[in-house]
Structure 1
Amino acid sequence: MAQDSVKYFYPLAWAVVDKETGRTWKWFMELLRNSLELEDGEGVTFMSDMQKGLLEAVSTVLPKANHRWCARHIEANWSKNWRGIEMKKLIWWCAWSTYEEEFKDQLKTLGAVHEDAARELIHYPPQYWCRAYFDTKCKNHMVDNNFTESFNKWILEARNKPIIKMLEDIRLKVMNLLNNREEECRNWKEEISPYAIELYNDYRVIAIECKVVFNGDYGYEVVEGKDKYIVNLELKKCTCRAWNLTGIPCPHAIKALMHDKQDPLSEVHWWYSKEAYMLAYMHKLQPVKGEKFWKIEPEHAMEPP
């Protein structure tokens, strides 16, 4: 499953295998690479639950792809030894940190509660699950892949059926979904996605409370509470990294852009535009004739159970 700019799951490819193994994941990833012409995977970002076979398949088939690990799965493993609401909150603040200094501060706070808890957490390399170390080519700062669970719930009824009926039901559901999402996009009130608007509005509320100092060039020093950040409008960067991670101006960038008499919404990345969304959903599944029209080659026929 992929994710679109409204944060909906996007059915990209699916398969039925006898078991999730390194062999079946490699087979699947090779088909995905060839179908989408991904070559060595440069510029592509995956997120998984750290399943060994999948990790190896991605690194073998798409060696230059970025591979994030789902923070929820890390939390589930880590929290077996470190339970409690406070500990859960602290691990998520670590994962949500957008720059290294913030991550180290959060890790220090966790260590103050229990030193061994912090030490055990970094056994999971933070570059795979903490925003502070994510590549910014992918304009998505998500740290968990719960949209795959959304897809599994969506096909739950179909999954209980015989294999051909199951695949046909999924195909029809996806066919309708692609069409419905395109129609939904036509009714957007803005030229950028509702999710981008929602996040931008949240950032704007924070920006109002910030203070800004301009250096007369492209640099802005923006104060948020006790922290200071540097915004460079020419490079479209902020030291908090949120702008670079999401493609949506962070509170500090919004404050700087407003000082510069620019509309911050105009700096939202093209990936969130209606045009980009329509391009993503222009590829449709084509209708299929009924089963009596199917031609089955003898060598491909399935043996009866």
Structure 2
Amino acid sequence: MEYQVQSYRGRYVVDMRNRTCACGSWQLSGIPCQHAIACMKMNNDPPERYMDDCYRVDTCKKAYSFAVLPLNDSSQWIHDDCIDLESPIFQEKKRGPRQKKRRKEAWEVEKAKKVKKGRAYTAMSKG
């Protein structure tokens, strides 16, 4: 049940028993990749047989088979006095003007100032 499939991008090993392909697409998505489908067509196997269970119609029906019951208004909820929850502590906003220039990293430390065509500029290190 192992095959070697050659495509224009290279050779890929497909293991039909473990549902794996060397390209990795089948393992990630659960949907057979083009290399696996080529092996299935050679054996006259339907690709639907090798799909992951999460893509099946009966799995979808099971997921949505439970009823979602309506809730009463929050004023009618039963209050339990045993649990006392505290709200999180928020930090106050910092006072003063916002910082307009970004802080430079350590690797951006300025070198010596240079003068070019009468204008001074600062050269940055490349790190």
Name the TM tier (shorter chain): 0.5 to 0.7
Shift of 1:240: 1.2
Q: What are the residue-to-residue correspondences of 1:89-128 with 2, within 5 Å?
A: none
Give the corresponding residue for 2:114. Answer: none
Q: 2:22 aligns with which of 218, 230, 239?
A: 239
Shift of 1:245: 1.7
Give the corresponding residue for 1:213. Answer: none
Shift of 1:290: 3.1
Give the corresponding residue for 1:254. Answer: 37
Q: What are the residue-to-residue correspondences of 1:62-141 with 2, within 5 Å?
A: none
RMSD, aligned CA: 2.4
Q: 2:58 aligns with which of 250, 271, 275?
A: 275
> Within 1, Cα distance between the matches of 2:15 and 2:84?
62
Shift of 1:253: 0.1
The number of residue pairs the alignment matches comes to: 85
Q: What are the residue-to-residue correspondences of 1:104-253 with 2, within 5 Å?
A: 218-253=1-36
| TM-score, structure 1 normalization | 0.25
The 3-state SS of whatever aligns with 1:282 is coil
The 3-state SS of whatever aligns with 2:28 is helix
Shift of 1:284: 4.0
Give the corresponding residue for 1:61. Answer: none
Give the corresponding residue for 1:266. Answer: 49
> Within 1, Cα distance between the matches of 2:15 and 2:82?
63
Structure 2 unmatched runs, 5+: 86-127
Give the corresponding residue for 1:79. Answer: none
The percent of aligned pairs where both chains have the same amino acid is: 25
Query: Could you say which structure has the higher helix fraction?
Result: 1
Shift of 1:277: 1.4
> Within 2, Cα distance between the matches of 1:285 and 1:298?
27
> Within 2, Cα distance between the matches of 1:262 and 1:234?
13
Shift of 1:275: 1.3
The 3-state SS of whatever aligns with 1:279 is helix
Higher relative contact order (CA 8 A, sep 6+): 1
The 3-state SS of whatever aligns with 1:244 is helix
Q: Deviations over 1:91-138 (max 9, x none)?
A: xxxxxxxxxxxxxxxxxxxxxxxxxxxxxxxxxxxxxxxxxxxxxxxx
The 3-state SS of whatever aligns with 2:17 is coil
Give the corresponding residue for 2:78. Answer: 295
Give the letter aligned to residue 62 of structure 2. L
> Within 2, Cα distance between the matches of 1:298 and 1:263?
60
Shift of 1:219: 2.6
Query: Could you say which structure has the higher strand fraction?
Result: 2
| TM-score, structure 2 normalization | 0.55
